[in-house]
Structure 1
């Protein structure tokens, strides 16, 4: 007899709490193999294909394309066991019955506290989530609160609606951010009915409650309308806002754009940054690159040479390859360089990370930059390829600009900016000449070092750009 197993949206890493379903890769009734990708989801970090650790027949899918699911919500159910081999059951009444039976068994087990059967899966899912040897834990069940008769009849005492006693214990909330949002707006979470799995309160539930409170002119809407109706019910009474909404195009801050907005805002709030800059004669660096690429070997990119200069400069000034532990009030100097680089894509600005950049030569850096850039433009970067950077190189010269004061990529301590390389008048060997000039800027966290260290780092980078032979002395 086949056993129906439920596969939930796994933890995608880096504190991500939800994902948007972009494309289903399997249909109900289709046979899937162990570790076969079943759905493509988009998080605030990247596009990810999620593999299913079970092999069998898909009996149900949860969520339409374009909808968002919280981590831990059911993705699909799979019938595993007899009769699930290739060529087995197809989509039809029997399949739908199996799906309904899976839902019923899940609900029954949650209500009775019975243990679910152990899943025989590969365990090869994403960060922080497994399918085998999971620790035993009791599933939290949100009690069903019967509606009081006084409320059904619309009774009131002294002109106020009658409320029932609230259950004891903490309220299940999807993330601390949602709990903080409610606290900042003086909203009692016990008055809400969550729309997530098992009554889990989502950000949308809190935002709906706040909109309803504004529409009704105070807390009465939250206590009576929202708690009774839930986030999916239409608003009644006055409109959401009496003031006219300004015209124009509204773009939700979610996905990559939302993640970038949050990170940059946090950087501005927490990091006391300063910027220094210098013009440098890049003529010799450009000549050196031309000579290297004319030798017949693999082509070397300019950004790879700049990255090689960065890693050499960080070896001399390691204070800039640091992070600040605000809890311990310590500057943590790191012993490896994971070099991030800014890449503009159709989905927004992303910062892929070259792992152990200090251990790679110019050829290896060129290949890794090319691979990550292609993956970024195709939306195939994994969360691991977008996190963990220790220093960022920002080549904004590709946009045709000379200078910038970039925002540090939190929680890093510095970012090197490189403008366009253009012919300019320059005094060379005592005479005025036309040279290839570039502006370099360094934005740094003033907590990790003083201006002397930052200036020394930038001056060393400029010296290597002007005289590439300087770099050879550090190799």
Structure 2
């Protein structure tokens, strides 16, 4: 959007997948900074991921619309950028900069949306009871005289939390405010009413880690003295919740999305769970043999189970489907878009490997490792977290044997894997100790009956017990 004087207002773009709003996590520019085309100006958090938002205009920032922690609707102003006036003694490099300003972004943004819902401020519980300050008013629309370009620094025009009166001595190694880099750490601290910049960072260079925030929470709830009467070491943090009072946690962001999606799944899908115990000794031996032959490309058990599931879905495509309730039809997908349930600091997410059937086993292993790592870091774009057709859930990492998981709506099935433990097992009529796990399949009874679901689960179990069968079916 361009005004008469050439000032351009960058609106919060449509971030895809039906998202209608985003929360400002951190401004990457301040009022008065020069920005170039496609330079990241703000980091926002949607219900699905933390996203860097680039500005399609070049110029000088004259206003930032919103403070950290504020929720902005799609299509509403985000940054106002004014053109840089030409001067007779224009510094070297400004000609190229001005070409960028005139050209605009060469990238195609998803869109600018049409929503015009009023801006709202998310209220978070603060254990200290201190009120949140109102955001500073935006800078005047008329841009100041252009100074010499300076490096971008963290913004101070729109503070999100009150200034800290006394930082912890030794924080960040200098006695000043500690450095907080991770959006996940910032969010964890903010949700519990902690000013993370006051904590003593134990990461490299004094960076505040998640463990530091958790230590502050523990210090706030631990008894004030040890058994010997000596006061324990404390970390700067909020006052503890008074005894007898409930802790209210807003159902927002990804937690709200998870709640809505799982509730919808339970309302709409008539799900059934079947399970079987299997001897995974042969699968573990196969994995060890593969990794010994290709140590530079290791394969995980999850990757082998993903390969087995892909083989099963080729034989039983009814489970690689979804029900279109409005059109009253079942849609079987041509490709397998494999979802992998991953527990992260932000909650449960299901990143998707699209057309997983086209990948080799080693490619599957590499893609799984990269995808789950990015999901835990919160760097996956929203498009990577939707569109799955079948989900694999390794709940065995939590030390449990079985589960009756809820289907990831609108998919039709989900395979769960329990922990692999030593158990007595009969082999060729003799009792032996084997590596045993439990597999469970939860399926939508509308897409198939027990014969199909049982056939799929039995095929998966047979391939786990005798991996040679997998090779025979490739």
Regarding TM over 0.5, the answer is yes
* Number of the residue aligned with 1:313: 312
Report whether the alignment pairs 1:31 with 2:30. no
Contact 1:22–1:41 (CA under 8 A) maintained in structure 2: yes
* Number of the residue aligned with 1:454: 453
Contact 2:61–2:80 (CA under 8 A) maintained in structure 1: yes
* Number of the residue aligned with 1:10: 13
CA separation of 1:423 and 1:353: change in aligned 2, threshold 3 A: same
Larger radius of gyration: 1
* 1:342-381 matched pairs, under 5 angstroms: 342-381=341-380
d(CA) in 2 for partners of 1:126 and 1:410?
Answer: 28
For the residue of structure 2 that corresponds to 1:367, the secondary structure is: helix
* Number of the residue aligned with 1:414: 413
* Number of the residue aligned with 1:280: 278
CA separation of 1:31 and 1:86: change in aligned 2, threshold 3 A: farther
d(CA) in 2 for partners of 1:390 and 1:398?
Answer: 23
Report whether the alignment pairs 1:75 with 2:73. no
d(CA) in 2 for partners of 1:270 and 1:67?
Answer: 34
CA separation of 1:37 and 1:430: change in aligned 2, threshold 3 A: same
d(CA) in 1 for partners of 2:428 and 2:473?
Answer: 25
d(CA) in 2 for partners of 1:463 and 1:420?
Answer: 18
d(CA) in 1 for partners of 2:298 and 2:322?
Answer: 34
Contact 1:53–1:125 (CA under 8 A) maintained in structure 2: no
* Number of the residue aligned with 1:323: 322
For the residue of structure 1 that corresponds to 2:25, the secondary structure is: strand
* Number of the residue aligned with 2:238: none
**Offset of 1:473 from its aligned partner?**
1.3
Tell me which moved more, 72-81 or 457-466: 72-81
* Number of the residue aligned with 1:122: 105
**Offset of 1:355 from its aligned partner?**
1.4
Q: Stretches of 4+ moved more than 3 A in 1?
A: 81-89
d(CA) in 2 for partners of 1:83 and 1:3?
Answer: 13
d(CA) in 2 for partners of 1:321 and 1:121?
Answer: 43
**Offset of 1:119 from its aligned partner?**
8.5
For the residue of structure 2 that corresponds to 1:408, the secondary structure is: coil
Contact 2:320–2:333 (CA under 8 A) maintained in structure 1: yes
CA separation of 1:128 and 1:173: change in aligned 2, threshold 3 A: closer
For the residue of structure 1 that corresponds to 2:293, the secondary structure is: coil
Tell me which moved more, 458-467 or 379-388: 379-388
For the residue of structure 1 that corresponds to 2:272, the secondary structure is: strand
CA separation of 1:24 and 1:125: change in aligned 2, threshold 3 A: farther
Over aligned residues, Cα RMSD in angstroms? 2.5
d(CA) in 2 for partners of 1:330 and 1:454?
Answer: 19
d(CA) in 2 for partners of 1:247 and 1:433?
Answer: 54
**Offset of 1:383 from its aligned partner?**
0.3
* Number of the residue aligned with 1:115: none
For the residue of structure 1 that corresponds to 2:469, the secondary structure is: helix
d(CA) in 2 for partners of 1:46 and 1:364?
Answer: 24
d(CA) in 2 for partners of 1:444 and 1:86?
Answer: 66
Contact 1:9–1:70 (CA under 8 A) maintained in structure 2: yes
d(CA) in 1 for partners of 2:437 and 2:109?
Answer: 43
**Offset of 1:351 from its aligned partner?**
0.7
* Number of the residue aligned with 1:292: 290
Contact 2:424–2:433 (CA under 8 A) maintained in structure 1: yes
**Offset of 1:128 from its aligned partner?**
3.3
CA separation of 1:369 and 1:81: change in aligned 2, threshold 3 A: same
Contact 2:69–2:121 (CA under 8 A) maintained in structure 1: no
* 1:154-193 matched pairs, under 5 angstroms: 174=117
For the residue of structure 2 that corresponds to 1:473, the secondary structure is: helix
Contact 1:54–1:80 (CA under 8 A) maintained in structure 2: no
**Offset of 1:80 from its aligned partner?**
2.6
CA separation of 1:318 and 1:14: change in aligned 2, threshold 3 A: same
Q: Deviations over 1:210-237 (max 9, x none)?
A: xxxxxxxxxxxxxxxxxxxxxxxxxxxx
For the residue of structure 2 that corresponds to 1:397, the secondary structure is: helix
For the residue of structure 2 that corresponds to 1:328, the secondary structure is: coil
What's the TM-score once normalised by structure 1's chain length? 0.68
Contact 1:7–1:52 (CA under 8 A) maintained in structure 2: yes
What's the TM-score once normalised by structure 2's chain length? 0.68
**Offset of 1:79 from its aligned partner?**
1.3
d(CA) in 1 for partners of 2:82 and 2:445?
Answer: 58
Report whether the alignment pairs 1:383 with 2:366. no
d(CA) in 2 for partners of 1:307 and 1:370?
Answer: 13
d(CA) in 1 for partners of 2:46 and 2:109?
Answer: 13
* Number of the residue aligned with 2:64: 61
**Offset of 1:73 from its aligned partner?**
1.0
Contact 1:31–1:86 (CA under 8 A) maintained in structure 2: no
d(CA) in 2 for partners of 1:47 and 1:467?
Answer: 42
For the residue of structure 2 that corresponds to 1:461, the secondary structure is: helix
Contact 1:282–1:465 (CA under 8 A) maintained in structure 2: yes
Report whether the alignment pairs 1:51 with 2:34. no
Contact 1:43–1:255 (CA under 8 A) maintained in structure 2: yes
* Number of the residue aligned with 1:472: 471
d(CA) in 2 for partners of 1:374 and 1:428?
Answer: 38
Report whether the alignment pairs 1:251 with 2:249. yes
d(CA) in 2 for partners of 1:472 and 1:82?
Answer: 68
Contact 1:24–1:38 (CA under 8 A) maintained in structure 2: yes
Contact 2:74–2:112 (CA under 8 A) maintained in structure 1: no
Report whether the alignment pairs 1:403 with 2:386. no
